[in-house]
A and B are shown apart, each in its own frame.
Chain A
Amino acid sequence: MSSNDKKRMADVFGARANRRQMIRGAAGAGLAAPAFAAGLQAAGAAGTTRFATVDRAQGTPKKGGTFVCLGDQEVVGLSPEDADPTVVWAVVCQIHDSLYEQDENNELQPALAESYTISPDGKTWTFKLRKGVKFHNGDDFTSEDVKYTYDWIMDAKNGSTRIGNFDLVAKVDAPDPLTVVVTLKAPSPSMLFNVGGTYIYPAKYHAQVGEKGYKAKPVGTGPFKLKEWNAAERTTLTAFDDHFRGRPYVDEFRMDVVPEASGRAAALEAGKADTTIWPLGPEDNQSIKDGGKFAYWDWVQGAINHFPLNNEHPFLSDKEARKAMMYAIDRQSIVDDIFQGAAVVADSNMSPAFKWHTDDVTKYDYDPDKAKQTLDAAGWTGSGTRAKNGQKAAFECIVKTGDTVRRPEAEIVQQLFKDVGIDMQLREEPSPAMLDGMRTGKADAALFNWTYGTADPDATNELSSGGANNFSHFKNAKVDELLKQGLTEMDEKKRIAIYQQIQQIITEEVPFLYILILKATTFYAKRVKGVPEKMLNGDNFIQKVYQVWIEG
């Protein structure tokens, strides 16, 4: 889990949820807690993790072959700066390493770091780095590279999109080649997610070619190095002989770009690829499972499929009306019939994949009569489209252009709203326009997936008054205060309580309509050996292609 994984935006652009939640979610599961509780001491020893989860029954590793992954969109660049979309990340993570990485079971594993210690005030983090690590160009990896990378991101004139992860960082020091000291402005329980997961640039090389040159010719410490980059078609990487975990078994890693979901499914069934990093439709998933050529893992994602609502809109500003809308949506049927069970109903802003999640919230089961009563009671009355004091119970909802999953979903909700007297018009727009419309308040509502807290539960950008991604224009003084506390609360239990309280307020206020959380299915061809039996976050396993081999 690197900083970039935290923020896959992919789901806005593609049909489905993204990685970020997962990754962070992962963290939720196991990682940081014990370390923080102890206040000090290091996470696991380095170098022992490689085959920890491998099923021994899979035989002896063999060398050779090409591992093929399918992605849905262009690999726009090869710098960690470009790695927001999952597909790009899946390539970037082969080339780069961070100090700590999150594995497929949501455990944090040391990568370039061996251990860390935290000062008692929680403000000084000292990382011990791994020895003898080489970059693809032969340079040695040292603390200078880490300092350079962090400093580069924090320098506002570089325009890094990862700058927000370093908000709490005061300075970075490299006292000796194998030690990095990060000093924080305030204690931060999310330090390992926000900073520790950042992929490391080679200081000398990056300074020399600049970020622009780096995007086309990256040099990392990762298990694979660049062979050929053809953004729209395919990216080919070759095994790096001097990788610190040892040379990968497969000779090449390839990412093929296939924008059409049905094209990816057909390619998998035809045996043309070993996995796909971007999920398929529920029917396609089923048919590949039935085909028997692939091992698969089902897991719950972290992004919330939701309708953000402009809380300043004359109709949508009425809390009772928003509650009525929740009652009017038959979310269980949408999950069962449209997503064919490949989703779970959302019951707050937080996915149940994370430990921050709580069940103890206001629930909204499908009940159209209750929806009507709630509207009546709130003064929205009349036949056809309801109205109150001349204001119609009507608004417009934006769906991403060409979104063949969420547009039908919006059409269903539109019909359900109509049944209770609410008029929701639909409009398709490209995602930048959709996001801009919600941010500026020019749009009333939209339908897309977003995360409101993940493994790192912070959602200041999303839920605080005036936050950059506060699409619903939600303002709540209590939530603002809780978010602030949560940022620096080092005590795990207290922190959980804070974020559960936020969920309770959200479900009471309903600033947006949370619908469902998708389940993903990760496939690996049966010819691929060295895969684990259990994956709680299938996307993350793509980082570990270095440990698989190809049989036959």
Chain B
Amino acid sequence: MLSYIINRLFQGAIVVVLVSILTFLVMQAVPGSPVDLMIGKQKVSIEQRKAIEHKWGFDRPWYDQYFTWAGNLVTGNMGESVVRTGEPVSSMIKNAALMTLRLNVLSFFISIAIAIPIGMLAAIKRYSWFDYGSMLGATIGVTIPNYWIALMGIVLFSVKLGWLPPYGADSWKSYILPVFVLAFEEIAALARLTRGATMEVLGQDYVTTARAKGLKEKVVISRHVLRNALLPIITVIGYRIAFILSGTIVVETVFGWPGMGRLFFDSINRLDYQVVQAIVLVLSIVIVVVNILTDLTYALIDPRVRIR
């Protein structure tokens, strides 16, 4: 077990380094320089421009810049943005991550609370109107692009009705639209999954046996079906958590939510290497670690799965 974890962590570390080198190379390949954004329309001659590039180290070869970056990282310094120079990248990411987490955690819990009962009920009442209705809804929910729902939400609730703010994060009201949009498809996906998992369990021999023993349906469901069906659901939730910081670029752009997604998108557009680099690093570490944790949890819950 321990050696498994160490092995996985080791592999994870390789993956993270690979990802960071990849990002660095990719960003180097983008034409243009962040210096363009710093200078803007200032009256700066070609020589003066070179001096500015030199000051920021953009005239050095990429591997040199990479090692500087990686070296700083080891000492806990994530570098500084070329654009938002007044704030260290680490605090920038911390603030943005908190904003994204607030949004995602909220929508995540709401969707779990709604989706799991719906999915199970649909499975238990298989082929009823409830089943068809909820699953049709769920399928549609998965297939509508979330930013379109977001736009339509803004048109309806902010523009036409004026009930909710169209942007920002200042009051509880500003959470309603983005949380709803994120939860909407989350619910759809989870409900579909829960239904599938529950149906599978319902067909298992031990459920049939339990029923044959004359147990009440309620007991069968709560004792046997529920617990076993939760297994795959928990796994999926784990994988979802891995992407909890990175999943909302488009929604954040639409709602002007100052989270990780928007920071990332803006940083790419301004070629803010240091920020892009740091965000990708953080995201990939989260994904790798959570994936390992999920696999471990899965193994702990399900005795049938053994770790190789």
Contacts and interface: CB of A to CB of B under 8 A. Distances in A.
A adjacent to B, CB under 8 Å = yes
Interface of A: 4, 6-10, 12-13, 18, 20, 74, 76-79, 82, 84-85, 156-159, 161-165, 167, 194, 212, 214-216, 229-234, 256-260, 262-263, 266-267, 270, 272, 401-402, 429-437, 442, 450-451, 458, 460-461, 466, 468-469
A84 B56 contact: no
Contact of A231 (B44, B49, B87): B87
Q: Range of interface residues on chain B?
A: 35 or more
Contacts of A433: 30-32, 271
Interface stretch (B35-43, B70-78, B105-113, B205-213): B35-43
A194 B254 CA distance: 39
B166 A266 contact: yes
B55 A437 contact: no
B34 A77 contact: no
B171 to A, nearest CB: 11
B96 interface: yes
B168 to A, nearest CB: 7
B165 A272 contact: yes
Given A461-B43, A466-B46, 18 more contacts: A9-B42, A20-B41, A74-B266, A76-B85, A77-B85, A77-B87, A84-B42, A167-B45, A215-B86, A229-B86, A231-B84, A232-B262, A430-B270, A432-B30, A432-B37, A432-B271, A433-B32, A437-B31
Interface string B73-101: 00000001001111100001001100100
B41 A18 contact: yes
A266 B166 CA distance: 7
Given A435-B36, A450-B41, A230 B165 contact: no
B84 A77 contact: yes
B159 interface: yes
B268 interface: yes
A128 B297 CA distance: 74
Contacts of A257: 256, 258
Given A74-B84, A215-B86, A435-B36, A159 B56 contact: yes
B32 A212 contact: no
A256 B165 CA distance: 13
Contact of A436 (B33, B38, B162): B33
B228 interface: no
Q: Tell which of B51, B80, B256 has the most Cβ of chain A within 10 Å.
A: B256
B222 interface: no
B52 A8 contact: no
A163 B269 contact: no
B45 A461 contact: yes
B263 interface: yes
B23 interface: no
Contacts of B143: none
Contacts of A84: 38-42
B113 to A, nearest CB: 29
Nearest to A72: B256
Nearest to B30: A433
Contacts of B254: 260
B36 A432 contact: yes
Contacts of A260: 166-167, 254, 256
Contacts of A157: 51, 55
Contacts of B253: 259
Given A159-B51, A159-B55, A436 B36 contact: yes
A164 B42 contact: yes
A382 B217 CA distance: 82
B235 interface: no
B269 to A, nearest CB: 5
Contacts of A435: 32, 36
Contacts of B165: 267, 270, 272
B52 A401 contact: no
A266 B170 CA distance: 16
B83 A76 contact: yes
Contacts of B80: 212
Contacts of A13: 37
Contact of A82 (B86, B266, B268, B269): B86
Interface string B1-40: 0000000000000000000000000000011111011111
B31 A164 contact: no
Q: Tell which of A13, A401, A433 has the most Cβ of chain B within 10 Å.
A: A433
Interface in B244-299: 253-254, 256, 258, 262-263, 266, 268-271
Given A18-B41, A263-B167, A434 B32 contact: yes
> Which 10 A-B pairs give the minimum distances between C-beta atoms?
A9-B40, A215-B86, A432-B32, A159-B55, A164-B43, A232-B258, A84-B40, A436-B32, A7-B41, A433-B32
A401 B271 CA distance: 13
B169 interface: yes
Contact of A266 (B41, B159, B169): B159
A152 to B, nearest CB: 13
B204 interface: no
Contacts of B51: 156-157, 159
B110 to A, nearest CB: 23
B162 A270 contact: yes
Contacts of B55: 157-159
Q: Tell which of A85, A167, A469 has the most Cβ of chain B within 10 Å.
A: A469
B169 A431 contact: no
A266 B167 CA distance: 9
Nearest to A78: B86
Contact of A430 (B39, B158, B271): B271
Contact of B31 (A232, A442, A469): A442
Interface string B48-62: 110110111000000
A537 B87 CA distance: 32
Given A77-B84, A260-B256, A262-B166, A431 B36 contact: yes
Interface string B136-155: 00000000000000000010
Contacts of B263: 232
A435 B36 CA distance: 7
A435 to B, nearest CB: 5
A297 B50 CA distance: 41
Contacts of B96: 232
Contacts of B41: 6-9, 12, 18, 20, 84, 450-451, 469
B258 A267 contact: no
